[in-house]
Amino acid sequence: MQTHVKTNDKKDLIPKSFLQSGNNLPITTSISFKHPIIQDIIDIDKEHFGLYSENIYYSMINVFLTDPYDYMVFLDDKGIDYETVNSFDVFCLLFNDYIERIQTLSNEYSEEQITKLFQNNIYFSAFKFFLGVESFFIAKDENGNKVIGYGDGQFLFDSATYDYITEFIRKINGIQDSEKIYPEDEWAKQILIEDERERLKKQAKKHENGEEETNKNRLGNLISSITWSCNGGVTPFNRNQLHMYDLVDGINRTDKLLSYKNTMTGLYAGCIEKKNINFNELHWST
């Protein structure tokens, strides 16, 4: 089987300076995609004083992370080649699949219960939190392209805007694009899909047995790191006002500074040769 691996090398759509501003991402003239502060996230589950806020937050984030590569098994089950669709296509497919699964419960639940499931689903919750709209629907524009609408037929976003949303979500939360395997032929691609299918089965089994919780304590660990490991400007009294990008970027910058200091110490101690150091990549300000 011939394959090759490479990391994501696509051009960034959103500059770091905008992310550092803390501004929301403009979507339409009247709607923006929220760049939350930590307190916004804690307040998601006010009913339980924030006990389940972190899990709900990361579930809402996942609504917008729909790289076809990550859903190759889901797409294969529908007879779709993951290399022929984009992230927006997958978002629409997943949403429709989610709604269809709710509809199949109509024989088991009352009409009132089904209505509640529709109203409180994770997609609508995510759109309300990040975009401030109660619900949305999938429609088509005059050219037959899928778009997202809301309200009484108002346009919200299309595939191009969705790319900005996905990048925004990834960057403010420190979610990296993973390395991808690119099969050289259809045979190799099918093997890749079946390997991923087996991995997902094992992951599901671990989850059922309570052996694995993907996002458990991630936000708490980030908050702890920025509070106690950085330069002292962030304290338990002001940390909840940090925007998510500042939280993630502050930790990454501190790690880079520590790496720089350790490398320079090794250089001065004669443990590292200067010719083996790429100072452009190493410096903490880059």
- The per-residue pLDDT for range 225-252, each reduced to its tens digit, is 898 887 778 899 999 999 999 999 988 8
Above 70 in pLDDT, residue 105? yes
pTM listed for this prediction: 0.87
Q: Is 64 helix (H, G, I), strand (E, B) or coil?
A: coil
The dihedral of CA 171, 175, 181, 186: what is its sign? negative
Instruction: Report residue 67's pLDDT band, with 50, 70 and 90 as the boundaries.
Output: very high
Residue 132 burial (C-beta neighbours within 10 Å; 0-12, 13-18, 19+): middle
Instruction: Tell me which amino acid residue 93 is.
Output: L
Coil, strand or helix at 173: coil
Q: What backbone torsions phi and psi does residue 238 show, to the nearest 5 degrees?
A: -130, -5
* Alpha-carbon span 53 to 109, nearest angstrom: 27
pLDDT of the residue at 284:
64
pLDDT value of residue 112: 86
CB neighbour list of residue 24: distance below 8 Å, 6 or more residues apart:
32, 33, 34, 35
Q: Is the pLDDT at 145 greater than 80, yes or no?
A: yes
Q: What is the pLDDT of residues 9-48, one digit of tens each?
A: 578 899 999 999 999 999 999 999 999 999 999 999 999 9
DSSP string, 95-148: HHHHHHHHHGGGGTS-HHHHHHHHHT-HHHHHHHHHH--S--EEEE-TTS-EEE
Please give the Cα distance from 157 to 166 (Å, whole number): 12
